[in-house]
Amino acid sequence: MIIVLKENPNKEQLEFFLAWLEDKGFQIHQSIGESHMILGLVGDTATLDIDLITALDIVDNVKRVQEPYKKANRKFHPEDTVIDLGCTKIGGGNLTIMAGPCSVESEEQIIAVAKAVKESGATILRGGAFKPRTSPYSFQGKGKEGIDLLLEAKRETGLPIVTEIMELSQLDLFDEIDVIQVGARNMQNFNLLKELGKTDKPIMIKRGMSATFEELLMSAEYVMSQGNEKVILCERGIRTFETFTRNTLDLSAIPVLKELSHLPVIIDPSHATGKARLVAPMALAAVAGGTDGLIIEVHNDPPRALCDGSQSLRPEAFDELMKKISPLHKLMSEMK
Ligand code: PEP
Ligand code: MN
């Protein structure tokens, strides 16, 4: 249920009302907008009498929220969520560029790629230390050593780090990681999502291969329901009958998710297409479509990459792409 308060509500009446709602067992999500304050109630609101609440002096109007996701719902929080990493912000008109290799392979590799993508304008370094691979015989990532190398690249370049967690037991290693990624295969690992909801780290959830928008938003809700509201949504392509591309990039994710939710939306054209030559056109399409950011795989030697070489851009190609992204984003911002 959403309760929109009148402008400048009487403080005492508001405090009394909030205490009354809390006493009834509701979780109250407060959103302070430019002119109105909005209270989002989570709990069994079926027992609440809408007419009684509407009649209160401090209340402007009351609406029931039909969607099962509440905290992730834009109705609860009309303004875009902006996640502040200190050196860069995600959401709210900022364009976040996460770039780096699929997997961290060696010190030379991650440092070289980190320096190159930073030089081209990337704002966050990506790199997998724990890799969810389809085959148990494929390279599984360097684990803790990979995290240490990412932190070394962070010290060298100042770029914040996004990297994937596969299970809860790895969480202790993520203390100095800036954004924790939950991969497509773990989008519905509800225990993992709940535990990440108890941390204060930004969590980027990638859309499962066959997940609907509502299912993705419910995964965000799992994290948010535990108190962590710093959630980022990532569209990385879904399974369709098409086999030419690795997945099918669902660009409608941008307007749809931004209509339904206040959370930032990031597009991953690398995993969506599986082909390096398709990454730039899809990245540009996403920027034109209003994405809050991109996550792009970049490798210094794609043919020798231990994972996802075929979809990785060389640093030079990434640099060329960034030269197009920047004016396009500026143009799109001016057109708003
Ligand atoms: C990744 O980002 O390297 C990855 C494994 O992505 P996804 O979960 O989207 O497949
Ligand atoms: Mn990859």
pTM for this one? 0.95
Residue with the smallest CA separation from ligand 1 atom 4 is: 183
Q: What is the pLDDT of residue 34?
A: 78
Q: What is the pLDDT of residues 18-74, one digit of tens each?
A: 999 999 999 998 988 878 899 999 988 888 999 999 999 999 999 999 899 999 999
> How many angstroms separate the alpha carbon of residue 96 from the centre of ligand 2?
18
Residue with the smallest CA separation from ligand 1 atom 10 is: 184
CA distances from 319 to 102, 212, 274 (A): 18, 33, 19
Q: What is the pLDDT of residue 32?
A: 86
Q: What is the pLDDT of residues 265-324, one digit of tens each?
A: 999 999 999 999 999 999 999 999 999 999 999 999 999 999 999 999 999 999 999 999
Q: How far apart are CA 138 and CA 132, in angstroms?
A: 10
Task: Write down the residue that tokens 């939950």 correspond to.
Answer: 182
Section 99-109 average pLDDT: 98
Q: Strand, coil or helix: what is 301?
A: coil
Atom from ligand 1 closest to the CA of residue 131? 5
Say which ligand is closest to the CA of 312.
2
E strand or H helix at 63: strand 59-63
E strand or H helix at 296: strand 293-297
CB distance 141 to ligand 1 below 6 Å: no
- Number of helical (H) and strand (E) elements in the chain, helices listed first: 10, 14
What tokens appear for 312 in the block? Answer: 């990785």
> How many angstroms separate the alpha carbon of residue 41 from the centre of ligand 1?
34
Closest residue by Cα to residue 153 from 205, 214, 106, 223 = 106
Best residue for ligand 1 mutational test, from 236, 279, 294 (most atoms within 8 Å of Cβ)? 236
Best residue for ligand 1 mutational test, from 150, 161, 181 (most atoms within 8 Å of Cβ)? 181
Residue type at position 193: L
Q: What is the pLDDT of residues 78-101, one digit of tens each?
A: 999 999 999 999 999 999 999 999
Q: What is the pLDDT of residues 133-181, one digit of tens each?
A: 999 999 999 999 999 999 999 999 999 999 999 999 999 999 999 999 9
Residue with the smallest CA separation from ligand 1 atom 3 is: 102
Going 108 to 101 to 315 to 294, the CA torsion angle's sign is: negative
Residue with the smallest CA separation from ligand 1 atom 9 is: 184
Say which ligand is closest to the CA of 307.
2
